[in-house]
Amino acid sequence: MAKRDTGLRFQPSGGTRTTQVPTGKKQRLKIERLSNDGRGIGFVEGRTWFVAGSLAGEEVEARVLGAHGKVVEARTERVFQASPLRRPAPCPHFGRCGGCSVQQMPREEQLALKQRMLAEQLSRIAGVDPQEWAAPLTGDEYAYRRRARIAVRWDARGKHLEVGFRAASSQDIIGIEQCPVLVQALQPIMSALPSMLRSLSKPQALGHVELFSGSAQAVLLRHTAPLADKDLAILQAFCATFEAQLWLHGEGEPQPVDPSAQLGYHLQPWNLQLAYRPGDFVQVNAQVNTAMIEQALVWLAPRPDERVLDLFCGLGNFALPLAQIAQEVVAVEGVETMVQRAAGNAVRNDLHNVKFYQADLSQPLDKAPWVAEGFRAVLLDPPRDGALEVVGKLRSLGAERVLYVSCNPATLARDTVELIKQGYQLKRAGILDMFPQTAHVEAMALFEASK
């Protein structure tokens, strides 16, 4: 029996549904300004377009990567009218690879963008400007990255192993055999890696690959099934060619194929050698990392009679240089294995006035036994979600000076509000250009207690 047409028509609640912009659609538009993450902003038919790879004042053709509501995310396909600031990107994969997002900008413009982003967050969220802006802390523009994770995926339909970096706004893998931001020591390994991996008998069992350059070169292979003997021999021969260590990550922790292999990095100004294992957090830019530590020591100015607290200490990147100056350093980290390695680093460097503890740094610290004696100076280097619970108790520890190293200006600004409530003043701040060619901002801020 056929359904009777009642003549009624219903709309979804909320009124007329907006037609979404389809992925892949191309649109010509004018870029009005830049967003905080370096993408161009344009407006078409009531929608706001965020266009990667564009500059303010340009007229471009943008390809849609995704859309939700009135926001469209896109990338630049063609430039009809270029900004005078535009420069040729040195990497042929720019615009497709998700690694470097602002190569079209001169270095000075990249730094200015990051400076604006930090200043805007501090002003808008915390309502404060530092008493002094420090000059940007910079290093080499290219060939700076000493660590890289290479995506590897078996395409069952095409019977092909994909090797490269993740695409921008996508899970696609862009085949890359050279990367201008990798340190020179890793370039030949990167170039030869795809063909070697494709020669293995069980490519379906391969996960990601991690490259590291420090006291030695190292190649870590993540695998989800045992490796065949002939595949292991291929991997060992490959690493021997490039004088690199081979590390394997199956079940459990990553392990070197040669049990005697030592991996780490050197902090030259302090004659410190820090051991490292793949999977540990380490700053990828060695040059800026050294300059960052030097600046932190100058700003925090620890004295020989002071007790200093280092929060989110990792492998001891700040704690060990601090221990060469201060009377005592207490260093705290959330991951127990990192605490153990940091303590080992202190012993190997003959530093016995630094103590390492494991603690949940998302919780207040006032009940920890090692806070009882208090601290005159505190350094913290938290992850992207900041350290709100920690900073809420710093004044009660007796801290006169607080040095905050941040990888997220938004959470730095949020935590600044809490520090100001406790009577601290923002004395000095500046950006750290840890990731040139990207819009990622790292910053350093010095707070001092009001007299």
Q: Are 432 and 288 in contact (CB under 8 A)?
A: yes
Q: Is 322 helix (H, G, I), strand (E, B) or coil?
A: helix
Question: With the C-alpha atoms ordered 106, 107, 113, 119, is the resulting torsion angle positive or negative?
Answer: negative
Q: What angle do CA 29, 31, 34 make, to 5 degrees?
A: 150
What kind and span of H or E run contains 30? strand 26-30
* Side-chain-side CA neighbours of residue 314 (13 Å): 19
* Side-chain-side CA neighbours of residue 354 (13 Å): 31
Which residue's entry shows tokens 């470097």?
100
C-alpha to C-alpha distance for 362 and 333, rounded to whole angstroms: 11
* Side-chain-side CA neighbours of residue 404 (13 Å): 31
Residues 6+ apart with CB under 8 A from 294: 269
C-alpha to C-alpha distance for 196 and 231, rounded to whole angstroms: 10
C-alpha to C-alpha distance for 333 and 349, rounded to whole angstroms: 19
Q: Are 64 and 74 in contact (CB under 8 A)?
A: yes
Residue 445's closest CA among 300, 318, 314?
300
Question: With the C-alpha atoms ordered 287, 290, 291, 296, is the resulting torsion angle positive or negative?
Answer: positive
Residue 359's closest CA among 413, 309, 322?
309
Provide the token pair at 40.
Answer: 């161009």
Which residue's entry shows tokens 């922790």?
253
239 in catalytic set: no
Spacing of C-alpha 375 from chain mean position: 29
C-alpha to C-alpha distance for 50 and 65, rounded to whole angstroms: 10
Dihedral of CA atoms 327, 333, 336, 339 in degrees, nearest 10, equals -30
C-alpha to C-alpha distance for 426 and 417, rounded to whole angstroms: 10
Residue 42's closest CA among 80, 13, 99?
80
The full length of the chain comes to: 451
CA distances to 225, 295, 341, 383 from 292, rounded to whole Å, are 41, 5, 22, 16
Residues that are catalytic:
407
